[in-house]
Amino acid sequence: MKQLDYYFWLNSDWALLGADRLALLAQRQDVQVNYKPVDLLDVYARTGGIPLSRRSVQRQDYREQELRRWMPLLGMQINVTPRYMCPDASLASRFLIAAELLGYPVAQLHKEILAAQWCHEQDIAQADVLLGVAARLGLPGPAMMQRAAQPEAERQYRRYTDEAVSAGVFGSPSYVLAGEVFWGQDRLDFLDRALAG
């Protein structure tokens, strides 16, 4: 089975827009997606990226314009400036890693954590929000939270972030297939073609 490394930030609006199509692509192409949450601010610091809050007004405005173009095309609705926008994503990332370490699938969990911020006005830096997401999915949230507090989860989070930079990743979402980086949910069609070839 082909392997696809998927590097994403759990504050990424664009990762949410690509989540369903990635899942469908993986099913159709029979590819194993390795979900790897990263510390995007660290990635930016090491690759020349600029956090949204420090970008020019023109760039911030264009981001909102692009989101409003994509939402109807994808049949999705998100809040482009949610109440709890881009909080510390480290706990959420370790929580997802904990689910993986405990042997649970994480595709839907990753999508629902993203949706909590961008669709439901929730602060994903809060443990109770993450526990609520897990409960809705039938996952053992308390066990996941306990595992997320262990050094192993933090080490894996740092490892994924280092891997991303080494692989040439500089933004979220990024999909890496056999060393080739596809940056952005608008590159999923190119990824689909590469998998088919």
d(CA 97, CA 154): 9
Nearest to 173 by CA among 46, 47, 16: 16
Maximum Cα interatomic distance, the chain, rounded to a whole number of Å: 44
Kindly list the catalytic residues: 12
Instruction: Indicate the pairing of strand 174-177 with strand 180-183.
Output: antiparallel
d(CA 161, CA 121): 27
Nearest to 39 by CA among 165, 168, 153, 161: 161
